[in-house]
Amino acid sequence: MQLELSEPVDCVADFTYDFYWQHRGAKLKPDDPIPHQEGSNYTYRDVIEALKRKEDIFILGDVGHRFCSSFGVDLRFFSGSGGKIPVGNIIVEGDVDTRMGISMVSGAIYVAGAVKPPIGNVVEVASDRTGYQKYRSITDVVCNGLGDDTLAPPNVLSNTQLHLSDAIVRDTVGARCACDAQICVAGDVDLSTGILMKRGTVIVTGNAGMNSGALLNGGTVIIRGNAEAFAGIDMKSGVLVVGGTPRGYLGANKRGGTIYARGAKALPPAKAFAVNRDEMALLSKHLGIGQLQAMMFKKFV
C-alpha cells in the first residue's frame, strides 16, 4: 500500500484511532478517508488492516502527531486479545511529528526525514534501508531481543537490560512489558511511563511527565526525580516509586498496587502508611538515599 500526502496528517497507523473509545468518532472515524491523499482514498482502517495482514505501508510526504500509536497491539476494545500481534513495516519518505510510536509493541518504522521529540516507546536500531532511520519497540527489544538488528549508539542492550542514554525524551517507556526486563533511562521522560506494564522494571534517573505508572498492572516503575500530575492513575497492581516531588492527583482512581512517595497525599480510597525497615532499605537502594531520607516516605495502598 502506498499513500502520498500533500500535508501532514495526525494519527496515521494509530491502532487506537486517537483513543476512539473516548471520543466515539468526534475526532476521527476509522472508516473516514485519510485527508490530503494524492491519487488514493484509503481510510484509517484500511491502513491498520493492511498492517495486520503483515503488508508494508509506504508513505510519501510528512506525517503528523501520534503516528503508529499502539502499533502491533490487538486492542480489546476492537474485540482483540489485548496482546501483541505481528504486523508489517511502515516506511515514511518525509518527516514525522511528535509522539511517534506511543505504546508500540511490534513492527518497525523507517523514516527518511526528521523525527520530532518526544517520541514514543521506540528505540533506533541500525537500518537495513539506505537513507532511512529504523525504529523498533522498546518493549519488543527487551522481551524478544534484537535478532539481526543492532542498537544505534549510545544505547546498550545487555541480555534483558536496556540502557537508554541518548538524551531523547520519550513517552510510554516500557509500555505493556510482560517480561522480567529492566529499562534504565538516563535523563527525563514524558507521558505515561510504564503504562499497562505487567512485569519488569523501568528506572528513570530524571523527571517524568504526567501519568507515570498509568494502568500499571504489575512490575515496577521508579522515578528518581519529580513526577507530574496523575502518577499512578488507574493503577491495578505493581509498584510505583517517586523519589522527588509528585504533583497533584497521585493515585487517582487507583485500584491496587503500591505507591511510595514523600511530601504528597494520594486521592481516596488510597491510604497512607509508614514504611517498614525492609521498605526503607529497598528505597535506599533504588533511589540512592540514606535511611533517614527513606523514613520520610509513605506507602500508599
Show the low-confidence residues of the chain (pLDDT under 50): none
Predicted pLDDT at 268? 87
Predicted pLDDT at 99? 98
Predicted pLDDT at 266? 84
Torsions phi, psi for 298 (to 5 deg): -115, 155
Predicted pLDDT at 263? 87
- pLDDT, one tens digit per residue, over 254-299 is 999 999 999 888 888 889 999 999 999 999 999 999 999 999 999 9
Query: pTM of the prediction?
Result: 0.96
Cell 497507523 belongs to residue: 13
Is the link from the previous residue into 154 a cis peptide, with omega within 30 of 0?
A: yes
Predicted pLDDT at 87? 98
